[in-house]
Structure 1
Amino acid sequence: MSTQLLAPPAPDRIRGRTAVALAVVVSFWALILVDEMVVNISLAQIGTALDLTQVELSLVVNAYLLPYGGLLLLGGRVGDILGKRRVFVAGMALYTIGCLARVVAPDAWLLILARGVQGAGAALATPCVLALIMNMFAEGALRRKAIGVYTIAGGTGAAVGLLLAGALGSFGSWKLQMGLAGVIGLVLLVVTPAVVGETPRESGRFDVAGALVSTLGLVALVYGLTSSQTNGWASASWYVVGGLVLLGVFVTITRRAAQPLLDLSLFSDRSRVGAYLVLALMPGTQIGLFFFLGQYLQLVAGYTPMTVALAFLLVSVGMVGAAGPAGKLDARIGGRQVIVLGALMLVAANVWLLRMEPGDSFWTAILPSLLLVGAGLAFTIIPATVHATSGVEDSGSGSASSVVNAVQNVGSSISLAIIVAIATAVSASAAPDAQFTASMSGSFAAGAGFAAAIILASLLIRSRR
């Protein structure tokens, strides 16, 4: 009589220490997004307290965005070579130092310097978040679930930031809002080494020329796109063109380098490139919704900021509810089909808001669209992130993750610049008393256009289960 050894069944859920490690890693990712929202809402208070000009306030924002966007590729490579947990902790430490330093900053320039330290820390730590998840979970059902948790954490971060800004703002101290992120960062710094395992180092050295050129190129590109809203395209275009030229030089350097900063073979897979495009286009589907709808609910409908924050929590509700089905459908019918379904939801949400008129009920005119946006984001981001990180060796997961973060960062800047340009053009042709509603409608139409472009980009992703 022969016996047959059976392999133990694969676990169907994330358990034990791995679950704790995942929670710690995605908590820092959520913290970054919470703090971004809190800072944006607190700018008025900061400007009044420190007597800042509009130029100095813009520097408070850009001092964070520029090192964050510029150093992402370098952060991913550093994690691959030195160990992802080690670099993750180092990035968290820098980020936390920046959070705490801005609380005691007596003037604009020290606040701006602290924001720059924050941005550099975020650039080191952020690529390691997704890379650590890739190293914790092999490709399959558990990785899809983990990426679902990562997506939910990102989606709820902005909503929680709105609530915190509204609640803490009632105490009248912007420093209380700024200091909370520093305290949470300290807690995560203590907990992370105890629960998150280190990853193997990859032997190699840094491509100094590639790191310098890619950083300068991304900084110029992000600055040009973000400054186009205040300085105009005539001035910003020089930075955009210069950034694109430097990134072209970076590709040339990378092709010739023995140990390049970025593995260009990541772009040789059609499905992965399609996933990158989907992730780059995704911010454009929601920027107009949050920017204009938040103002509409306060200026036209008379909502308080806290009520608006509670309304936007519906997006998080939609994401949480749709994350599980999105992961299951990705395995069952294929990522491309799931992305198309999500994009159709985002089209429907923006078109639904286009029909909105002053006086319409929140429950019928706005609530369905907010839930659709949340579900659409889950159906779009989760399979796109799965495809963007599939087929990547653990030794290169840091670089692969940095590309995911970089395309989302640049995509956000491009989307915002395009939507602002469309909204401005539409409002200029409207009557003075209808300019705001015209701008809002233009942003919703642009959001639907971005969602339609996602459907086209998803065609690059191979249809397979």
Structure 2
Amino acid sequence: MSSVSTSAPPTPPGSAPGTPGRPRPGLTLAVILTVQLMLVLDATIVNVALPIIHTTFGFTAADLSWVLNAYTLAFGGLLLLGGRLGDVLGYRRTFVAGLVIFIAGSILGGAALSGAWLIGARAVQGIGAAVAAPAALALLTRSQPEGPARNRALGLFTAVSSGGGSVGLLLGGLLTSWASWRWSFLINVPIGVAALVLGLRLLPTTQRRREPFDVPGALAASVGMIALVAGFVWLPEEGLSLRVITAFALAVLGLASLGLIERRASHPLFAFRLLKNPQRVTALISFMLIVGPQMAAFFFLVQYLQVAHGYGAFASGLAFLPLTLGIFGMSRLTPRLVNRFGPAAVSIAGAVLLIIGHLSFSRLGTDTGYWPWILLPMILLGVGGGLSFMPFSARILAGVPVGDSGAAAGLMQTAQQAGGVALGLAGLIAISGISSGSGAAVPVPELIMGMDRAFTAGAVFVGLSLVITIVSMIMTRPVRTPAEPAVEVVPEP
């Protein structure tokens, strides 16, 4: 099949390729991938340091969860806004602004002297990530030539986005064990400053649009998405409490208001026209169903390795290395498979491997050894994820107009965050019956039973994604009409 194009032409009207003499696109791609990895791994890098942070600041179990939730709320809740900011203000400008905010939050986190200070710093990091991440993806499509090169770049981007969580566990364990938990934040500073300096020199520029900004739409989208993420974050721990119900009600009110506002706005914040494409909608739903079980696997397997097998922080992160290598290894192969067989067919193969991996993990017991009953499913999750994520990204971003690149990037990353938080960290944890708090360790028998239920349900979610993808592929297959029989023409006498 022909290669999949995921963006508009590289030099659209209103953009400039940059100053003469800029280096090749490969270095530009390296800057974008480095920043994306930094933004994604910060969602998990402090996980293994939570017990030490708990002791340092005297957190309660409920308060300690906000070290993770503050970042998740700001990042997931503001992605739609961040994506549209890039469309209006210019992608390089918003990328740089988001990176500066993220670096400032990292400095504040490393220097935190109280629990409230640390939680506030995590929120600042999340705001910076929500502004920078959609712009990074939009810049990637602008800086890479259309065709196979762009597909390869997109494969690397999705590998970084999906594998960054496991990299965060490994790096967090390493820094916490060998240095201090504060370096989980401070390591972002030199990397971020270097990316900032290089980005100002390498990244393509885009002109700012001279149009009014949709402030009411921005407020409605921010309130609605933050409330929605908050509801799913609190749901596993509190059930249908007053706070959870209030959060969901506020989310419905905010998102419904967004729909009404956007219908009347002359320059709407959110491009609802992106959802008129059935292929994009089905790809978004399938993507969420794939991401949720993958994110939940991190939560359950870290607990299992530490509680049932006594792994330390660094050993727990190291145990995820096969999954990480599987994702990054497949990122080099998947674009070529997509170019040959198409994104739907490749994502189907990945979903089959993910189902087998989740079902294998549902069979873990108290005496299960790492080899082969943990290692092999880890590899299946890595390879299956590597086969799945890039094709879904290609389908979501295919045919996006030039002016909607940031909105489309924000929409895709919102789906990724919503799938991870709503289906993974809320839905599957609720199904498992295991508390998501950071208090005492879960008893091993309860953990095993909960994992059985959660991984089985995760396999069902991936199976639904598989069915949706197959149906979508059948519905969009070209219909061939039977050839009409040849008519013999007899010349007149």
Shared fold, TM over 0.5? yes
> For residues 60 and 345 of structure 1, do their structure 2 counterparts lie closer, same or farther at Cα, with a shift above 3 Å needed?
same
**1:283 is aligned with what amino acid?**
V
CA-to-partner distance for each residue in 1:37-86, whole Å, 9 max, x for gaps? 22222222222112222333233333222222222111111111111011
Farther-moved stretch of structure 1 (367-376 vs 355-364): 355-364
Counterpart Cα distance in 1 of 2:376 and 2:254 = 44
- The Cα of 1:362 is off from its aligned counterpart by 2.5
Q: 2:433 aligns with which of 424, 429, 432?
A: 424
Q: 2:105 aligns with which of 91, 98, 103?
A: 98
Q: In the alignment, does 2:116 pair up with 1:109? A: yes
Q: In the alignment, does 2:443 pair up with 1:435? A: no
CA contact (8 A) 2:142 2:204 kept: no
> For residues 362 and 67 of structure 1, do their structure 2 counterparts lie closer, same or farther at Cα, with a shift above 3 Å needed?
closer
**2:431 is aligned with what amino acid?**
I
CA contact (8 A) 1:42 1:165 kept: yes
Q: 1:167 aligns with which of 170, 174, 177?
A: 174
Partner of 1:6: none
| TM-score where L is the length of structure 2 | 0.86
Q: How does 1:108-187 map to 2 (within 5 A)?
A: 108-171=115-178, 173-187=180-194
Q: Percent identity?
A: 35
Partner of 2:49: 42
Partner of 1:271: 279
Counterpart Cα distance in 2 of 1:299 and 1:69 = 30
Q: How does 1:353-392 map to 2 (within 5 A)?
A: 353-392=361-400
Partner of 2:440: none
Partner of 2:343: 335
- The Cα of 1:355 is off from its aligned counterpart by 2.9
Structure of higher CA gyration radius: 2
Partner of 1:207: 214
Q: Runs of at least 4 residues of structure 1 off by over 4 A?
A: 461-465
- The Cα of 1:424 is off from its aligned counterpart by 0.5
Q: 1:193 aligns with which of 189, 192, 200?
A: 200
Q: 2:306 aligns with which of 284, 298, 302?
A: 298
**1:94 is aligned with what amino acid?**
I
Q: 2:354 aligns with which of 346, 359, 366?
A: 346
- The Cα of 1:464 is off from its aligned counterpart by 6.0
**2:251 is aligned with what amino acid?**
G
- The Cα of 1:139 is off from its aligned counterpart by 4.4
CA contact (8 A) 1:29 1:153 kept: yes
- The Cα of 1:138 is off from its aligned counterpart by 5.0
Partner of 2:78: 71
- The Cα of 1:411 is off from its aligned counterpart by 1.6
Q: In the alignment, does 2:320 pair up with 1:312? A: yes
- The Cα of 1:346 is off from its aligned counterpart by 0.6
Q: 1:240 aligns with which of 248, 263, 268?
A: 248
| 2:400 aligned counterpart, secondary structure | coil
> For residues 17 and 148 of structure 1, do their structure 2 counterparts lie closer, same or farther at Cα, with a shift above 3 Å needed?
same
Partner of 1:56: 63
Counterpart Cα distance in 1 of 2:113 and 2:310 = 36
- Alignment RMSD (CA, Å): 2.1
- The Cα of 1:420 is off from its aligned counterpart by 1.2
Gaps of 5+ in 2: 1-21, 436-442, 479-493
Farther-moved stretch of structure 1 (152-161 vs 205-214): 152-161
Counterpart Cα distance in 2 of 1:289 and 1:61 = 17
Counterpart Cα distance in 2 of 1:386 and 1:414 = 23
| 1:174 aligned counterpart, secondary structure | coil
Counterpart Cα distance in 2 of 1:118 and 1:457 = 35
Partner of 1:393: 401
- The Cα of 1:348 is off from its aligned counterpart by 0.6
- The Cα of 1:425 is off from its aligned counterpart by 8.0
Counterpart Cα distance in 2 of 1:87 and 1:296 = 40
Partner of 1:84: 91
Q: 1:460 aligns with which of 445, 466, 472?
A: 472
| TM-score where L is the length of structure 1 | 0.90
Q: 2:413 aligns with which of 405, 414, 420?
A: 405
Count of residues in correspondence between the two structures = 446
Partner of 1:31: 38
- The Cα of 1:433 is off from its aligned counterpart by 6.5
Larger relative contact order (Cα-Cα within 8 Å, sequence gap ≥ 6): 2
> For residues 285 and 231 of structure 1, do their structure 2 counterparts lie closer, same or farther at Cα, with a shift above 3 Å needed?
closer
> For residues 51 and 434 of structure 1, do their structure 2 counterparts lie closer, same or farther at Cα, with a shift above 3 Å needed?
closer
Partner of 2:5: none
Farther-moved stretch of structure 1 (373-382 vs 181-190): 181-190
> For residues 141 and 417 of structure 1, do their structure 2 counterparts lie closer, same or farther at Cα, with a shift above 3 Å needed?
same
Farther-moved stretch of structure 1 (127-136 vs 150-159): 150-159
CA contact (8 A) 1:216 1:246 kept: yes
- The Cα of 1:195 is off from its aligned counterpart by 1.5
> For residues 138 and 200 of structure 1, do their structure 2 counterparts lie closer, same or farther at Cα, with a shift above 3 Å needed?
farther
Counterpart Cα distance in 2 of 1:353 and 1:62 = 26
CA contact (8 A) 1:337 1:463 kept: no
Counterpart Cα distance in 1 of 2:73 and 2:171 = 25
Gaps of 5+ in 1: 1-14, 427-431
> For residues 464 and 127 of structure 1, do their structure 2 counterparts lie closer, same or farther at Cα, with a shift above 3 Å needed?
farther
**1:424 is aligned with what amino acid?**
G
| 1:355 aligned counterpart, secondary structure | coil
Counterpart Cα distance in 1 of 2:67 and 2:105 = 12
> For residues 242 and 346 of structure 1, do their structure 2 counterparts lie closer, same or farther at Cα, with a shift above 3 Å needed?
same
Counterpart Cα distance in 2 of 1:152 and 1:73 = 22
CA-to-partner distance for each residue in 1:258-302, whole Å, 9 max, x for gaps? 110111110011111111112222222223322222222233234
> For residues 360 and 104 of structure 1, do their structure 2 counterparts lie closer, same or farther at Cα, with a shift above 3 Å needed?
closer
